[in-house]
Structure 1
């Protein structure tokens, strides 16, 4: 039996509603807009929409997502900041492949937890959290990431957790691939309270 015109028309209306929201919609938002839970999940079951992260869906005919893990975490934790190895990878100054998405949150915030992609959360306080943040667009999602200099200072601070070999490789790649800014490096080193540790390595690169 052919599909009824009313069913096709309603499906088209739902897809139009998604497009009006940039192609993405949360289930909670859909319910507010008058779409029933049954109608929403029917779109999913028919393959017209696909999950991006928990509760967030996108039209399946949109271009493929280039960075699905980053989109999922940025959507789930919009106030967190990409840091440490994940930020090194974003800036292209590491050969490490992040097996978790490393995220910084404010000292009094709950640490981010996600089944997939796996997330490693870190609490930063005061200026150590709020300075050096860049906002970038990733697949139409705003992602917060620390700039290269702040990331390197953070890596020195957490050197015992990520490995000093990773930190020193990142500093060398930063010197070779980016504009070397020793003043900025030491400014963030002061904020992160690693000036004495970091200074000899920065001076050696001059």
Structure 2
């Protein structure tokens, strides 16, 4: 198999994307990605990320590739999990403390930091609207973040998210209450659950 064909075959099986890291994993020098870009066969979507020119750019996938420690959280996590009808205008990402978020100022990102034990809690994967897998906090961690964080003033958003959560068959109240204890929001979460369940 020729190198160009190897790259395009990989992209076909990876939602139209390839990164510098992917190229190395499949035994291809990243020089060939630059060459295919110059030839107009693929397009550079961001630093180290290449895609099919006919694709809509997946901003979430690109952001997480560039900022690997970022986990989609808050409103963005609600959107990925289908718990809100609001499409995020800016993406919410959480990073371990201390993390220099200065590079995110130019991006459409609201950056949050959490101490390591909270940052590591509830990390899972979700699918972007473009079909790519990204790291996101699970529903339970997201709900606890909402009532604990700066978004707690948005009562309508929290209420909608709580209602969506209790309607899903995949809800895990035990896990939700465990996270609420760890994050010191158990009273607030318990009040919501007592009303909705």
**Deviation at 1:51?**
2.0
Q: Identify if the C-alpha distance between structure 1 residues 76 and 60 changes in structure 2 by more than 3 Å, giving closer, same or farther.
A: same
User: Structure 2: which 5+ residue stretches go unaligned?
Assistant: 12-16
Determine if the alignment matches structure 1 residue 16 to structure 2 residue 10: no
Q: CA RMSD in A?
A: 3.1
**Deviation at 1:107?**
1.1
Native 8 Å contact 2:20 2:30 kept in 1: no
Q: Distance in 1 between matches of 2:183 and 2:194?
A: 18
User: Structure 1: which 5+ residue stretches go unaligned?
Assistant: 1-11
**Deviation at 1:21?**
5.8
Query: After the TM superposition, which segments of 4 or more aligned residues of structure 1 sit over 6 Å from their partners?
Result: none
Give the TM-score normalised by the residue count of structure 2: 0.77
Determine if the alignment matches structure 1 residue 57 to structure 2 residue 50: yes
1:35-65 CA distance string (max 9 Å, x none): 38xx92x63344211122223213447xx35
Paired residue for 2:119, among 108, 129, 139?
Answer: 129
Q: Secondary structure at the match of 2:176?
A: helix
**Deviation at 1:74?**
1.7
**Deviation at 1:155?**
0.8
1:93-132 counterparts in 2 under 5 A? 93-111=83-101, 113=104, 115-116=106-107, 118-132=108-122
Aligned counterpart, 1:47: 40
**Deviation at 1:114?**
6.4
**Deviation at 1:92?**
0.7
Q: Identify if the C-alpha distance between structure 1 residues 188 and 105 changes in structure 2 by more than 3 Å, giving closer, same or farther.
A: same
Aligned counterpart, 2:29: 33
The structure with the larger Rg is: 1
Q: Distance in 1 between matches of 2:60 and 2:115?
A: 23
Say how many residue pairs are matched: 186
Q: Distance in 1 between matches of 2:116 and 2:94?
A: 12
Instruction: Name which of structure 1's ranges 169-178 and 98-107 shifts more when overlaid on structure 2.
Output: 169-178
Q: Secondary structure at the match of 2:31?
A: coil
Q: Identify if the C-alpha distance between structure 1 residues 141 and 173 changes in structure 2 by more than 3 Å, giving closer, same or farther.
A: closer
